[in-house]
Amino acid sequence: MSAIADGDHPEPIQVLFTLHPGFDTLDLTGPLEILHQARHDPKDKTSHAFEISIVSSQPGTTSSQGVVVKADMNYSDAHQNIEDYDILIVPGGNSDEVLKANEEPMTLIRSFADMQKKDPSKERTLMSICTGALFVAQTGILQGLCATTHPDYYTKLEILCADAARRDLGDRTDVMEERYVVNNARFDLGENLDENPFIVSKPPEDPPTTPGSPMSNRNARRASMARKGSDAWRDSNRRRESNARRAALRLGGLRVITSGGVTTGMDAACYLVGAMVSHESAVEVARILQYSWSKGVTVEAVDV
């Protein structure tokens, strides 16, 4: 089911959204709409770039806003078929209850990351929206990476990441005040990074912070290492990157994207379209939806 070139257009890239009781509706529907609108060829409406599925523990899951969403499968089936998926997207909402129970989607997140470490030859992406980053943090996957979440939960994210680092004797996570953060971008460097519409080579000016606050040491953090993203998926077989290089990255080269509050998940989804399909497709999606997205930060998986 993974996206392999076939004829004029590659097959759709397989995406799996996780759901849990009390998820935030826009965390799901915003990125879902952007991926649904994406085409491998913006002029060909039949060339769908992504095929989307939804997993939940219940046939119908109610969001915190009262919207009931039907699932395509339960978590048991998702675990059995996890190899079929190229992208796993984790919405937030009702995070305290999910973290307290330590239930799905945490186990599926771990399985998806473990699969990449066992088989780094495939390009896979784990993406969280809003407080979905807290679920990823509790699994320990964010150790040694950079991450963000809803601004109201920066401190909570730092605490979860610090607890995971102590538990697993791992590296700390750099929590960043950004709309979205991409780790293990793994794209060839372009000659002029300023031409890439999705990536900024360094964070914007730091906002004022209170001494001693979780964000007060941000000036000491490393600058980002930008990577060229356009047409990455279609050109993946021609890229100079080797499986050995990908395997040497953290998590077997799993691309890890965390986004901030609600609409930033749409920003990250636009980035994903530009990175895995084409810049032209991302621009067309934004035109159709009359949406103007904001840039995030792309970093290498380095010790922070």
The reported pLDDT for the residue numbered 47 is: 95
Q: Is the dihedral of CA 72, 134, 89, 256 positive or negative?
A: negative
Residue 272: CA count within 13 A, CB half-sphere: 37
The reported pLDDT for the residue numbered 242 is: 61
**pLDDT mean by block of 10 residues, the chain; 304 residues:** 52 96 97 97 94 97 98 98 97 96 95 94 93 97 95 97 94 93 67 47 40 37 34 44 70 92 92 89 93 78 43
The reported pLDDT for the residue numbered 199 is: 45
The reported pLDDT for the residue numbered 208 is: 38
Query: Does the domain formed by 13-193+251-298 have CATH 3.40.50.880?
Result: yes
pTM over 0.85: no
The reported pLDDT for the residue numbered 8 is: 64
The reported pLDDT for the residue numbered 241 is: 52
